[in-house]
Amino acid sequence: MAVLVITGSGRGAGKTAVGCALIAAMPELRWVAVKVSPHVHDLGEELWEELDFRSTKDTGRYLAAGTRRSFLISGVPELRSAELVTEARSRARLCDAVLVESNRIAAGMVASRGERVVSIAVLAGAEPEWKPSLLDCAGSVDALVLAGGVLPEEFDSPFLRKPVFGLTAGQWSVPELVGFVRGRLL
């Protein structure tokens, strides 16, 4: 299975929008999406599956973009989250690619030996407002996606010297980003 991990600077940065755009741009892969949220969503299960592709929840947006299965993990510790990502993968045996949206799960925690992996960070807003969890995973990120008007020269961060893909307002993917991710996963 190919593994794509999307992390981001905070709520509303565009992680889900970028993930949906990448899924839609790579229909040759049979995707399963797993959103990991530190917040408790009262759904009665640690690993909840979305079944409504018309839902406006992030999990529904992933289904509408073309994933075959879409799951939410909420309010559990990091190690348990990684175990639940593995469980979601096992439930989606017909899929050959997994997208994990999380600041707490590094690709190495959920990828099996020999799997193709890519990790991107979606950055928006002012650097002082970025989640501390984003900076914790800076070393494992392969590329940056700049959204919300963020420019590479505006921040001094551990992300320097990573490939950078800039997005304009209302745009959630560019051909160069799709080519980069596709090249890493296929």
Structure tokens at 71: 């799951």
CA distance 117 to 108: 8
pLDDT tens, residue by residue, 55-89: 999 999 999 999 999 999 998 988 999 999 999 99
User: What pLDDT sits at residue 155?
Assistant: 62
Residue 87: exposure state from Cβ atoms within 10 A (0-12, 13-18, ≥19):
middle
Q: Which domains, ranges and CATH numbers included, belong to the chain?
A: 2-185 (3.40.50.300)
pTM score of the predicted model: 0.93
- Assign residue 89 a region: left if phi > 0, alpha if psi is -120 to 50, beta otherwise? alpha
